[in-house]
Amino acid sequence: MGIKDEEDGSLKSLVIFREYDPAKEKRHSLLDKIRDFVTSFRAYFSMKGDPVGLPKILDDPLLNKKFQSSSTVAQQIVEPMHKWHTQYAPQQKHWYVAIVASDIDCQGKGYGKKVIDLLGQAADQIGIACYLECPDYNRKFYEKCGYTATKATTMSLSDPTLGDLSSPGYLMTREPKKSS
C-alpha cells in the first residue's frame, strides 16, 4: 500500500504488511514456505514492471551488493523479532506491519501518517488488528496513529564493522476501531 505524488506519480510513502494467522504459522509446511517464496518472487518481478519501479536499493547493483552483505546482521534482528511476534502479537489473525517508509525528501511532510492511516482504515473495515516493532524514536508517531506499546524491548547485534550495538524499541498493537 503506498502514497504517490499526484503530479508526477512518484512513490512518496509505503507500508508493507501481511496477514499473519498464528494457527496457520504453527503448521507451516515446506510446501507453504515454497508457495510464500513464489508469491514474493512474483511480487518482486511485478514491481520491476511498475512505472514507480523498484526501490533504489534493489535496482542499483552496488547498493544491492551492500544490502546483501548486511544479511548476516539482519539475521540477528529477524530471529528475536520472530520470537517477540510469536509471544506479544495478537493471538488471533492480524496484519503484521513489516515496513513503513517514506522517500527521504518526503520525511516530516505527513506521507508516513497518511499511509499508516490508510492501513488503519482498511483494518477497521474488516475488523483486524495490526502489529509492528519499532525503535524508541518512532513510538510517539505510532501512538498518534492509534498503536499501543505492548512491550518495551532492546534490539542487540554484533557486526565486525559496526561493533556491538543495542537500541531500545517497542512492540506495538493497534486494535480495530468499531464503526458507528
Q: What is the mean pLDDT of residues 58-86?
A: 67
pLDDT of residue 176: 94
pLDDT of residue 168: 86
| Residue 45 identity | F
Distance CA 138, CA 151 (A): 14
pLDDT of residue 99: 83
- Residues with Cβ within 8 Å of 42's Cβ and at least 6 positions away in sequence, in order, are none
87 pLDDT above the threshold of 80: yes
Structural domains present in the chain: 2-24+74-174 (3.40.630.30)
- DSSP state string for 29-58: -HHHHHHHHHHHHHHHHHHHHSTT---HHH
Per-residue pLDDT reduced to its tens digit, 29-63: 656 656 665 565 555 555 555 555 545 555 566 65
Angle at 17 between CA 15 and CA 19, to 5 degrees: 155
Kindly state the cell numbers that stand for 82: 520472530
Q: What is the mean pLDDT of residues 69-90?
A: 75
Distance CA 146, CA 172 (A): 10
Strands 11-20 and 94-102: antiparallel
pLDDT of residue 128: 95
- Residues with Cβ within 8 Å of 94's Cβ and at least 6 positions away in sequence, in order, are 19, 20, 128, 129, 130, 131, 173
Kindly state the cell numbers that stand for 93: 489473525
Torsion from C-alpha of 148, 169, 68, 39, nearest 10 degrees: -20
pLDDT of residue 112: 86
- Provide the β-strand partners of residue 165: 157
Distance spanning both ends of the chain, measured CA to CA: 25
Residue 103: CB atoms within 10 A of its CB come to: 16
Q: What is the mean pLDDT of residues 133-155?
A: 92
Kindly state the cell numbers that stand for 91: 493471538
22 pLDDT above the threshold of 90: no
pLDDT of residue 122: 93
Q: Strand (E) positions, 47-162?
A: 94-102, 129-135, 148-159
pTM (2 decimals)? 0.71
